[in-house]
A and B are shown apart, each in its own frame.
Chain A
Amino acid sequence: EPEVTQTPSHQVTQMGQEVILRCVPISNHLYFYWYRQILGQKVEFLVSFYNNEISEKSEIFDDQFSVERPDGSNFTLKIRSTKLEDSAMYFCASSEFFGTKYFGPGTRLTVT
């Protein structure tokens, strides 16, 4: 069964550093998403991406965040200057048009 993959599984970074989280969505999917889950909290929507542009973003997705699809397979989330409160599990998801959203296994980001 096709699946969404994410790398790395765990990233430790120092406050103020830039991080890039990588995702490979399911190959025939057209819609891509990033969500985050702070430990013990709910899963929160960050951004959706379609046709090489952002479709929707939440209030969490401020100027420190950016997304990119640099080639035909990868989908990345960049955090320019990490803060302690960015520590969370970041999930990538993908879907066909109006289809089920499949989540990747997540990247645990720890900001020290």
Chain B
Amino acid sequence: RKEVEQDPGPFNVPEGATVAFNCTYSNSASQSFFWYRQDCRKEPKLLMSVYSSGNEDGRFTAQLNRASQYISLLIRDSKLSDSATYLCVVNRGLRGGADGLTFGKGTHLIIQP
């Protein structure tokens, strides 16, 4: 089983629509969960951390289900600038602040005018 699995897409979505992405992870020792955004040939940038209680940041809502090892991201009222690859990321599960990250391959989102 892949460590972090995502639907690669592409998701073609009209501007203003709501879109949802999911991912699953296999490492039950992971304690930290994130969504990163990556534009073409650029570095990953943190979009938001994901908490068990669910969290929202403007148009973005993230959810975590530890029992199912499942993470989701919802984007409401999508903008053209949301077009990017969205990376599901979990920590490797080691103790200490130097723990590395495990990335999914990403879901490619294209917002169409």
Contacts and interface: CB of A to CB of B under 8 A. Distances in A.
A48 B98 contact: yes
B96 interface: yes
Given A103-B43, A103-B44, A44 B103 contact: yes
Interface centre among A30, A42, A49 (most CB of B within 10 A): A42
How big is the B interface, by class?
20 to 34
B105 A31 contact: no
A101 B101 contact: yes
Contact of A45 (B43, B92, B104, B105): B92
Nearest to B102: A45
Contacts of A56: 92, 94, 98-100
Interface of B: 38, 41-46, 49, 87, 92, 94, 96-106
5 contacts: A35-B100, A45-B103, A56-B98, A58-B100, A100-B46
